Amino acid sequence: MKYLHAIGSYFLMIGNVFYKPTKWSITKNLILKEVEDLIYGSLGIVIFISFFIGGVVAIQTALNIDNPLIPKYLVGFATRQSVILEFGPTFTSIIMAGKMGSYITSSIGTMRVTEQIDALEVMGINPLNYLVLPKIVALMLYPFMVATSMFLGILGGWAASVYGGYTNSADFIQGVQSNLIPFHITYAFIKTIVFAFILATIPSYHGYYMKGGALEVGKASTTSFVWTSIVIILLNYFITQLLLG
C-alpha cells in the first residue's frame, strides 16, 4: 500500500504542476536559472565521461576482435551502436540521476524544511507550478546534452582506436557510417525525452513531500537517486521492447 500511495501521490503531483500557472515573466526567469543549473552546469561531467566511455568501448571491442576474418571497421560500428543506443541516453541519464536528481531533491527539500514552500502557499502561489514546471521545461533541452554525449563518445572511440594503434582512422569512420539505421537515432531521442521528464519529476516529488529536518534532506536525495535510476532502467526496457522488439 505504501508504494501504491507513493505512485498515486506522484501522478497527482504531475497534475497539480500544470494547475494555476505562475506569471510568465517570473516563470521565464526561473526556467533560465534551471537551464543554467541543470543543463549548463552538467555539461562538464557529461563531456568528460562520454569521451572516455566511448574510448573504453572501442578498446574493448578491438581487443575482442582476434579473428583476421572479422573486418577492422567493426570497431567503429560497435562503438557507434553502443553509444547511440545505450551509453548516450541511458548511461548519461543514470549519471544525471545522481547529479541533477540530488540537486533537485535537496533544493526543494531544503525549501520544505525552512518552510519556504508554506510561504509560497500563503501568498497564493502554486508551489508545484513554481518549483517543478521550470525544471520540466529546462530539461526539454536535455536531448541536446545527450546528442553531445553521443558525438563525444564516438569521438573518444575514434581517438582511442587510432592513437592506441587498434585500427586506422579510415576503417573506424567506415564502421561509424556503415549500416546506419536512422530510426535508432529517433529511438534514442524518444528515450531521452522520457528520461528527461523522469529526471525532473521524481526528484521533485521526493523533495516536495519529504518530512523532517536537515538529515532527512540527505536521505531523500539518496532515495530519489535510487528510484529515479530504477524507473529509468525499467522504462529503458519497456521502450526498447516497444520500439525495437
Distances (CA, A) of 240 to 94, 96, 232: 16, 20, 12
Enter the pTM of the model. Answer: 0.90
Our count of domains for the chain comes to: 1
Split at pLDDT 50, 70, 90, the class of 241 is very high
Given this model, what pLDDT does residue 225 score? Answer: 92
Q: Is the pLDDT of residue 1 over 70?
A: no
What 8-state DSSP symbol labels residue 54? H
Considering the domain boundaries, does residue 17 fall inside one? Answer: no
Distances (CA, A) of 186 to 135, 181, 192: 23, 9, 10
Split at pLDDT 50, 70, 90, the class of 199 is very high
Considering the domain boundaries, does residue 168 fall inside one? Answer: yes
Considering the domain boundaries, does residue 15 fall inside one? Answer: no
Considering the domain boundaries, does residue 3 fall inside one? Answer: no
**150, containing H or E segment:** helix 142-163
Q: Cα–Cα–Cα angle for 148, 149, 151, nearest 5°?
A: 65
Considering the domain boundaries, does residue 50 fall inside one? Answer: yes
Return the residue matching grid coordinates 522488439: 245
Tell me the pLDDT tens digit for each residue of 18-59: 888 888 888 889 999 999 888 988 888 999 999 999 999 888
Distances (CA, A) of 188 to 82, 134, 196: 11, 24, 12
Cell of 9: 501521490
- For residues 184-199, average pLDDT: 93
Considering the domain boundaries, does residue 144 fall inside one? Answer: yes
Cα separation, 83 vs 28, in Å, equals 34
Given this model, what pLDDT does residue 214 score? Answer: 75
Write out the residue range of the structural domain in which residue 96 sits. 22-244
Given this model, what pLDDT does residue 20 score? Answer: 83
Tell me the pLDDT tens digit for each residue of 52-111: 999 998 888 888 877 777 777 888 898 898 899 888 899 899 999 988 888 999 999 988
Cell of 23: 506569471
Give the 3-state secondary structure of residue 123.
coil
Given this model, what pLDDT does residue 238 score? Answer: 93
Given this model, what pLDDT does residue 76 score? Answer: 87
Q: Is the pLDDT of residue 212 over 90?
A: no
Cell of 63: 581487443
Q: Which of 62, 64, 47 is nearest to 161 (CA)?
A: 62
Considering the domain boundaries, does residue 11 fall inside one? Answer: no
- Indicate the burial class of 131 (C-beta count within 10 angstroms; 0-12, 13-18, 19 or more): buried
Tell me the pLDDT tens digit for each residue of 117-171: 888 888 888 888 899 999 999 999 999 999 999 999 999 999 998 888 888 888 8
Considering the domain boundaries, does residue 4 fall inside one? Answer: no
